[in-house]
Amino acid sequence: MGHNSRCAEATRPGCRCTGCGGAQHGWQGTFTIAAEPTGRRAREFADDREKDWQNKPKSLTVAQAAVGCALADIVGWLHREKALLEGAQEVTRPFDRRKDDPERGRLLREIENRLGPDRTKMFQGWAVDVHFWCELLAQAAHALESLRRVYRHGLQAVDVLLARARETAERLVLQVVDEHLGQPPGLGRQEVQTVIRLATGSLFETLPLAVRGALGADAIFEFIWPVRVLAVVMCKDPSKHEAVCQYCLDPICVFTRAKVRTEVRDRLLENLKREWLPLTAELSQQ
């Protein structure tokens, strides 16, 4: 099935879009809701997710309804912090094919050039199935976070940091593919590695756009948040995706600026795997 507005504007779990492989899932709609200046649409979105929780439709699991409530808080956060929304939109650049801007969607075009249309389609069918694109974002956030811990010990140049983040993310994603996701039908490991390399390259290229100028290396780590937010919004079902929970949803839940409500954290802890939300679990015990 080709990518369409039902995928781009999805607000409930599930995606079978082989057109985008899940890379354009959900965020267009979510960011439009968050960007509405009065906050009316963000509040409506939150009300709908609360209704899903209070009076759960059969099509949702309790865990999915709980994640919906967290998404409502994330939409609220995107609405309050314009810089976060802009940052998250910046991170979508490699995946976005809507605009005529030649930079937008370059990654997807490069993949098509390398794999050809048929194998790209097979790759994207596999990608949506195994959560490939949200996994990639989650691992990128994880790579940046590990780097941030090391970075405290000394100053480093921006491009050195970015090159290391990229290498780390690439290695992590390849490891997940080898150990958990398996190969897409009709494609070899080498080709998967090529896609991963192109993708991490594009993703980390979007970072300097935001930090270019006099901001310095610390600004790179500010970028962890838009990457995390995009991973949670893009993921067709975070309740079933360990890396998105652990590296993105969990830190967001305990981040003061995100203002995720206590009751939402409790709903998540009661209905998702607790070990996927270690920081949230720790906070609830204090």
The footprint of Zn ion (CB under 5 A) covers 3, 7, 15, 17, 20, 24-25, 131, 134, 235, 241, 244
CB nearer to Zn ion: give 24 or 206.
Answer: 24
Whole-number minimum distance, CB 182 to Zn ion, in Å?
16
CB nearer to Zn ion: give 134 or 210.
Answer: 134
CB nearer to Zn ion: give 15 or 176.
Answer: 15
Whole-number minimum distance, CB 268 to Zn ion, in Å?
16
Whole-number minimum distance, CB 247 to Zn ion, in Å?
11
Encode the chain in three state secondary structure.
CCCCHHHHCCCCCCCCCCCCCCCCCCHHHHHHHHHCCCCHHHHHHHHHHHHHHHCCCCCCCHHHHHHHHHHHHHHHHHHHCHHHHHHHHHHCHHHCCCCCCCCCCHHHHHHHHHHHHHHHHHHHHHHHHHCHHHHHHHHHHHHHHHHHHHHCCCCCCHHHHHHHHHHHHHHHHHHHHHHHHCCCCCCCHHHHHHHHHHHHHHHHHHHHHHHCCCCCCHHHHHCHHHHHHHHHHHCCCHHHCHHHHHHHHHHHHCCHHHCCCHHHHHHHHHHCCHHHCHHHHHHHCC
CB nearer to Zn ion: give 50 or 242.
Answer: 242
Whole-number minimum distance, CB 54 to Zn ion, in Å?
26
CB nearer to Zn ion: give 211 or 247.
Answer: 247
CB nearer to Zn ion: give 77 or 95.
Answer: 95
Whole-number minimum distance, CB 124 to Zn ion, in Å?
9
In contact, 87 and 210? CB cutoff 8 Å: yes
Whole-number minimum distance, CB 15 to Zn ion, in Å?
3
